[in-house]
Chains A and B, each alone.
Chain A
Amino acid sequence: MSSPDGHRGFLGESVQLVRAVVRAMGVTLRNFFRRPVTVMYPDTPRPYPDRFRGLLALTYDKETGEENCIGCRLCEYICPPQVIKVEMLKGEKRNYAKTFTLELYSCEFCELCVQVCPTDAIIMMKSFDLATADRREMLLDKDRLHALGLQWEPSWATGNRLRDMQAPPKPARGEAKAEAGAAAPAGKAAPAATPTKAATPEPAE
């Protein structure tokens, strides 16, 4: 019904047109009085959920302070865009990573490297704040990765936690499950005291 072709139905169509117009304009008016949903980032910090896949970083062991990375190169092999390059340094008791470079500008943030890491060395942070004018700053070397690990808050996901979450339940993994504190496979979908309660902003209404 673009325009009435005759006076038959003209009034009815006009009334319908007016009613539709008023309804549409009413919706916009109602939204005019709602609070804007804009979050003034970066002035207002944005709460990140627990599993946020942000910047990558290397970690130190909590007790001994040693680097977690054993240079096994599993992350290098699994990375789909092949942004990780690791050289292993053999030691007496354990191996280390001699060099560890990660090209963050090509990283897909798929978390597969975190998934495979046997020692929870590489993790992702709850921040993506690494905008830079020079791409070379996003070629992260080992020192930079360790520094990032101390600078931001780490996400929940580490290699062991992810694998525990995904693995079909085995009885011997009882302690590991409780320690990981994740939504364990054999447990309920919403365990009580876990750090996985995300804090996303409520819908604005």
Chain B
Amino acid sequence: MDTEARQVIELGYGGNERLTMNMGPQHPSAHGVFRAILTLEGETVVAVEAVIGYLHRCHEKLGETLTYVQYPSIASKTDYVAAMTAELAYVAAVEKVGKIEVPRRAQYLRVIAAELQRIASHCLWLGTWCLDMGGALGGGATVFLYCIRERELILDLFEMLTGARLLYGFHQIGGVRYDVPAGWDRKVRETIDFVEKRLDEYEAMLEGNAFFLVRTQGVGVISRALAQDVGVCGPLIRGSGVDYDVRRAEPYSSYQEFDFKIPVETAGDCYARYRVRMAEFRESIKIVRQALGGLPEGPISSRPGVKSVGQVRVAKGDGYARVEGARGEIGAYVVADGGPKPYRLKWRGASFSNLSILPHIIPGHKVADVVAIMGSVDPVFGEVDR
């Protein structure tokens, strides 16, 4: 099916002048550095042109100049909001190419880290989305501060585990770098119990709230066919009725051993994506509990700890590994040539594919809906521009 690259709606106002407005890279709700050139007729957007590249930091070139040992710390900077899953994509790709085993304990720790990271990332998503819709001086800020308050608790957990709060360097080729400190799993259980209760509060503030529903229902509808054509991923495609999650489709890092549901909604609007992510909160909490309960003993890495910069050499070959990040499918394609550095690293950013849906769904909506839709797409520009 042939979808048009840009859908321009002719509203036939006749004589009404069109205004080109720049929602520029510096904007309170651009979610990073993103430029959208909107063409408006009155309050309705008739065309949108997305301009990206403001955060390009040459990750793929860095992947060629930094060794397998150095790059995992840098990999977290692509999806900096959900750093654990970004690192996981890279190390999983290298492990696939080099056929390197990962011990079970490391796999479980990776799962715990990824799911806690998903909770933290969704906290940030909810906060910033409501901030966009409600204004920095208004109800949005209240939800934002509540979500950040909860996210801080999860970041405290990561701080206990790795020493860092945002960009961890937790993964290494063959396993993870840090084992569980004393008292950590008790703290994790306390924190996720607490966060689970607070989730009920967020839902009380937003569900059934006419103001919120009216801003999100029927807004930014992505039809199932459109979602599959354009190739969006993550909560966007699950909100449009396609039951696809990399953790189920191609289980990695022992995900097949956990019992969790994949939330799917069919409406395809912002509200459906909201419901998908709220359900993902609870599923992630379930997975963390199961993983903590069944954490196996054993080494945390199948290779000795990093002692020199050229320690890991991967034989010639190539491979692609993908993980289900908070925003969708993050993939890394590594071409190895036998040395300590990859010959080529290619990132598949989830937000990059997700952003391409914007010119299809925004035209026809009002200016105020642009921020609601962008928030529900939840881009992180580290992934988009790399």
Contacts and interface: CB of A to CB of B under 8 A. Distances in A.
Interface in A1-32: 1-2, 13, 16-17, 19-21, 23-24, 26-28, 30-31
Give the 4 A-B CB pairs with smallest separation, nearest first. Answer: A163-B305, A166-B305, A53-B163, A110-B73
Interface string A24-43: 10111011000001000000
A201 B299 CA distance: 30
Interface of A is mostly: loop
B336 to A, nearest CB: 19
A188 B181 CA distance: 10
B301 A37 contact: no
30 contacts: A2-B210, A20-B210, A23-B205, A24-B139, A24-B205, A28-B142, A31-B142, A37-B152, A51-B162, A53-B163, A74-B308, A78-B306, A78-B308, A108-B73, A110-B167, A112-B69, A112-B73, A118-B307, A124-B163, A163-B304, A163-B305, A163-B306, A165-B178, A166-B299, A166-B305, A166-B306, A185-B179, A188-B297, A189-B184, A196-B182
A111 B161 CA distance: 13
Interface string B206-237: 11111001100000000000000000000000
Given A49-B160, A183-B180, A198-B181, 4 more contacts: A27-B201, A157-B163, A163-B307, A166-B179
Interface in B169-203: 169, 172, 175-185, 187, 190-191, 194, 201
Contacts of B303: 168
Interface of B: 66, 69-71, 73-74, 103, 139, 142, 146, 149, 152-153, 156, 159-164, 167, 169, 172, 175-185, 187, 190-191, 194, 201, 204-210, 213-214, 295, 297-309
Contact of A198 (B160, B213, B304): B160
Contacts of A174: none
Contacts of A186: 297, 299
Contacts of A23: 204-205, 208-209
A50 to B, nearest CB: 7
A163 B74 CA distance: 20
A157 to B, nearest CB: 7
A155 interface: yes
Contacts of A68: none
A188 B175 CA distance: 18
Contact of A1 (B180, B206, B210): B210
A85 to B, nearest CB: 15
A26 to B, nearest CB: 8
Contacts of A98: none
A196 B187 CA distance: 13
Interface in A30-76: 30-31, 37, 49-53, 74
B315 to A, nearest CB: 21
